[in-house]
Amino acid sequence: MKVKEAIEKRRAYRSLKETKISEEIIEEIAKAASLAPSCFNKQPWKYVFINDNKLLTQIKSLLSKGNEWARKSSLIIAVFSSEKDDCIIKERKYHLFDTGMATAFLILRATEMGLVAHPIAGFDNQKVKNILNIPKEYELIALLILGEKSPEISDDLSDWQKEAELKRPERKDLKEFAFINKFNP
Ligand SMILES: Cc1cc2nc3c(=O)[nH]c(=O)nc-3n(C[C@H](O)[C@H](O)[C@H](O)COP(=O)(O)O)c2cc1C
């Protein structure tokens, strides 16, 4: 699959069905993350791949309202990093930028492998950190919800979520964020 195709195919789908996500798949998507660029090659990203059923049940009980759909996930990945593990150049802290880039690589590779990899911010941050043994100095940035797209739209979705299954949410026009030569909004 070409990069352009993976970028266009990736969607934050919410209608999932269970699928087996093997250790080989985990290794493959982790490897894709490892190839991302980072400041001075610091590679600050950290991931916990959660496939243990008991742990998955615990994490799924900590999802925010509106994220009930994510209970059908087959694997959840916790994405976290610490500013101490990456460049700090004056006021510029690079760990979130670098971890975001690595995570985009991971998501695109998962997409290429036919999986849905949906990032979410809606969960009880402190409780998830405690369960996963993530120390205080790390920022738990997102959870990635992995699964296979179900051909049927899940019943537990709201109207707007059902609509988003069929049509990608609108994007800003390029002229709202892309400028030539000078920032001139
Ligand atoms: C940092 C981040 C947090 C998100 N949090 C949630 C969330 O808590 N629940 C949810 O259903 N989707 C969440 N999303 C998915 C976005 O809603 C989705 O990417 C956006 O609507 C665009 O749709 P698309 O990815 O299918 O193009 C999140 C995405 C990102 C990158």
Are the C-beta atoms of residues 135 and 37 closer than 8 Å to each other?
no
Domain boundaries, the chain: 3-156
Question: Considering only CA atoms, which of 59, 81, 65, 63 is closest in space to residue 137?
Answer: 81
What is the pLDDT at residue 146? 98
Give the pLDDT band (50/70/90) at residue 121.
Answer: very high
What fold characterizes domain 3-156?
Answer: NADH Oxidase (3.40.109)
> How many angstroms does the Cα of residue 7 sit away from the middle of ligand 1?
15
pLDDT tens-place string over residues 49-63: 999 999 999 999 999
For the record, the structure tokens of 118 come out as 């949906």
User: Rounded to whole angstroms, how far apart are CA atoms 52 and 26?
Assistant: 13
149 lines ligand 1 (CB under 6 A): no
Give the pLDDT band (50/70/90) at residue 88.
Answer: very high
The mean pLDDT of 28-48, rounded to a whole number, is 98
What is the pLDDT at residue 26? 98
Mutate to test the pocket of ligand 1, among 71, 79, 118, 145 (most ligand atoms within 8 A of CB): 118
What is the pLDDT at residue 12? 98
Q: SS3 for 3?
A: helix
Which residues fall within 8 angstroms of residue 76, CB to CB, at 6 or more apart? 50, 56, 59, 60, 70, 143, 144, 145, 146
